[in-house]
Structure 1
Amino acid sequence: MRRDGFINWERFFLLLPVFILLLLAFALPLLAIVPEAFGGDAVGRFLRIFGSPVYRTVIWTTVRISLEATAITLVVSFPLAWLLSRATGAKGLLLGLLVLVPFLTSVLVRTFAWLAILGQRGLVNATLLSLGLISEPLPLLFSEPAVVLALVHSSIPMMVFALVSVLRRIDGRILLAAHTLGASPLRAWLGILVPLAIRGIQSGVTIVFLFTMASFIAPAFLGNQRQQMLAQVIQSEIETGADWAFAAALGITLALTATILVVALSSVARYLSRWQRPGSLRPALPQQGSERVDKALLRRPVAQSTQRLHVPAVLRFGARLVEPAYLGVISVFILLPLVVLIPVSFSAADVLIFPPPGYSTRWFETILGSQEWIAAALTSLRIGAATCVATLVIATLTVLGFGRHVRFQGAAEALVLSPLTVPSVVFALGAYLTFARVGLVDTETGIIIAHTVLIVPVVYLVASATYSSIDPWLSRAAASLGANPWRIFRTVTFPLLLPGLAIGALLAMLLSFDESVASIFLSNLSVKTLPRKLWEGIRFNTSPESAAVSVMLLGVTCVVVLAGMAFVLGRRKTARLTLQARS
Structure 2
Amino acid sequence: MFDWRRIFLLAPVTVLLLVAFALPLLYIVPEAFSGEATKRFLRIFTSPVYTKIIRTTVRISVEATVITLIVSFPLAWVLSRAKGVRALLLGLVVLVPFLTSVLVRTFAWLAILGQRGLVNATLLSLGLISEPLPLLFSELAVVLALVHSAIPMMVFALFSVLRRIDGRVLLAAHTLGANPARAWFGMVVPLAIRGIQSGVIIVFLFTMASFIAPAFLGNQRQQMLAQVIQSEIETGANWALAAALGITLAAIATLVVIGLSMVLGVFSRWQNPGEPKPARTDLATGTVDRSLLRDPVKRAAPRFNLAAPWRVVMGYVGPVYITLVSAFLLLPLLVLFPVAFSSAEVLIFPPPGYSLRWFEEILSSPQWVDAALTSLRIGVATCVVTLILATLTVLGLGRDFRYRNTAEALMLSPMTVPAVVFALGAYLSFSRVGLIDTELGIILAHTVLGFPLVYLVASATFSSIDPGLARAAASLGANPFRVFRTVIFPLLLPGLSVGALLAMLHSFDESIASIFLSNLSVKTLPRMLWEGIRFNTSPESAAVSAMLLTATCLVILVGILVILGRSKRSSMAFQSDPDAV
Do Structure 1 and Structure 2 share a fold, with TM-score over 0.5?
Answer: yes
CA distance in 1, matches of 2:161, 2:11: 32
> SS of the residue aligned with 1:368?
helix
State the alpha-carbon separation in 1 of the partners of residues 401 and 273 from structure 2. 30
Relative to 1, partners in 2 of residues 1:260 and 1:312: Cα closer, same or farther, differing over 3 Å?
closer
1:130 to 117, 122, 125: 125
User: Where does residue 350 of structure 2 map in the other structure?
Assistant: 355
Provide the residue aligned with 2:571 in structure 1: 576
Secondary structure of 2:274's partner? helix
Change (3 A) 1:69 1:126: same
For residue 431 of structure 2, give the secondary structure of its aligned residue in structure 1.
Answer: helix
Per the TM alignment, residue 319 of structure 1 is displaced from its structure 2 partner at its CA by 1.3
Alignment match of 2:377 (pick from 375, 382, 385): 382
Q: Does 1:85 align with 2:57?
A: no
* Distance in 2 between residues matched to 1:489 and 1:421, nearest whole Å: 32
Q: How many residues align?
A: 577
Q: CA shift at 1:294, angstroms?
A: 7.7
Give runs of aligned pairs for residues 95-134 of structure 1, distance below 5 A.
95-134=90-129
Query: What is the rounded CA distance, in whole Å, between the counterparts of 1:243 and 1:576 in structure 2?
Result: 61
How far has the Cα of 1:28 moved from its partner? 0.3
AA paired with 1:471? Answer: D
1:512 counterpart residue number? 507
SS state at 1:54 partner: helix
Indicate the residue corresponding to 1:465 in structure 2: 460
Q: Tell me, in whole angstroms, the C-alpha distance in 1 between the residues paired with 2:430 and 2:474.
A: 45
Aligned equivalent of 2:44? 49
Contact in 2 for aligned 1:78/1:160 (Cα 8 Å): yes
2:537 is aligned with 1:537: no
> Which residue of structure 2 lines up, in the alignment, with residue 209 of structure 1?
204
Partner of 1:481: 476
The aligned counterpart of 2:255 is 260
Residues 295/548 of structure 1: CA separation in 2 closer, same or farther (3 Å cut): farther
Cα 1:366–1:177 shift into 2, 3 Å:
same
Q: Determine if contact 1:182/1:305 at 8 Å carries over to the other structure.
A: no
2:23 aligns with: 28
Q: Is 1:288 matched up with 2:311?
A: no
- CA spacing shift, 1:326–1:38, aligned 2, 3 Å: same
Give the TM-score of the pair, scaled to structure 1: 0.96
> Kindly tell me: are residues 305 and 32 of structure 1, through their superposed partners in 2, closer, same or farther at Cα, counting changes over 3 Å?
farther
Percent of matched pairs sharing the same residue: 73
- Mapped to 1, the partners of 2:300 and 2:474 lie a distance apart of 61
CA distance in structure 2 between the partners assigned to 1:141 and 1:294 by the alignment: 72
Equivalent residue runs for 1:185-224 within 5 Å: 185-224=180-219
Cα 1:225/1:396, change in 2 over 3 Å: same
Measured in 2, the distance between the counterparts of 1:300 and 1:182 equals: 20
Unaligned runs of 5+ in 1: 2-6
Distance in structure 1 (CA, Å) of the matches to 2:323 and 2:176: 31
User: Structure 2 vs 1, CA of residues 347 and 474 (structure 1 numbering), >3 Å: closer, same or farther?
Assistant: same
Matching residue within 400, 403, 408 for 1:413: 408
CA drift at 1:51: 1.1
TM-fit CA distance, 1:270: 1.5
SS in 2 for 1:288: coil
SS at match of 1:348: coil
- Counterpart of 2:205, as a letter, is L
For residues 353-411 of structure 1, give each alpha carbon's deviation from its aligned partner in whole angstroms, at most 9, with x where no partner exists. 11111111111111111111111111000000000001100011001100001121111
Cα distance in 2 between the residues matched to 1:286 and 1:161: 46
Q: How does 1:390-401 map to 2 (within 5 A)?
A: 390-401=385-396
Aligned mates of 2:439, 2:246 — CA distance in 1: 24
Q: CA RMSD in A?
A: 1.9
Deviation at 1:273, TM superposition (A): 0.3
Which residue in the other structure is 1:184 paired with?
Answer: 179
1:233 aligns with 2:218: no
Cα distance in 1, alignment partners of residues 340 and 176 from structure 2? 55
**2:154 aligned with 1:159, yes or no?**
yes
Superposed displacement of residue 578, structure 1:
3.2
* Alpha-carbon spacing, 1:302–1:473, altered in 2? closer, same or farther (3 Å): farther
TM-score when normalising by structure 2: 0.96
Question: What's the CA shift for 1:284?
Answer: 8.0
Q: Give CA-to-partner distance per residue, 1:499-549, whole Å, 9 cap, x none.
A: 111110010000100000000000000000000000000001111110111
What SS class does the counterpart of residue 279 from structure 1 fall into?
Answer: coil
The equivalent of 2:134 in structure 1 is 139
Distance 1:228 1:294 in 2: 71
2:245 corresponds, among 247, 250, 253, to: 250
Q: Secondary structure of the residue that 2:133 maps to in structure 1?
A: coil
- Displacement, 1:306? 7.9
Q: Which moved more, 1:283-292 or 1:454-463?
A: 283-292
- Structure 2 residue runs without a partner (length 5+): none
Instruction: Work out the CA distance in 1 between the residues paired with 2:22 and 2:242.
Output: 18
Residue equivalent to 1:4? none
Matched, 1:371 2:362: no
2: distance between equivalents of 1:285 and 1:527? 72
Q: By how many angstroms is 1:582 displaced?
A: 3.7
Paired position in structure 2 for 1:436: 431
Q: Who is 1:171 aligned against?
A: 166
What residue is the counterpart of 1:342 in the other structure? 337
CA distance in 1, matches of 2:67, 2:294: 45
Question: Equivalents in 1 of 2:297, 2:319: separation in Å?
Answer: 33
- Cα deviation for residue 460 of structure 1 reads 0.4
**Change beyond 3 A, Cα 1:289–1:509:** same
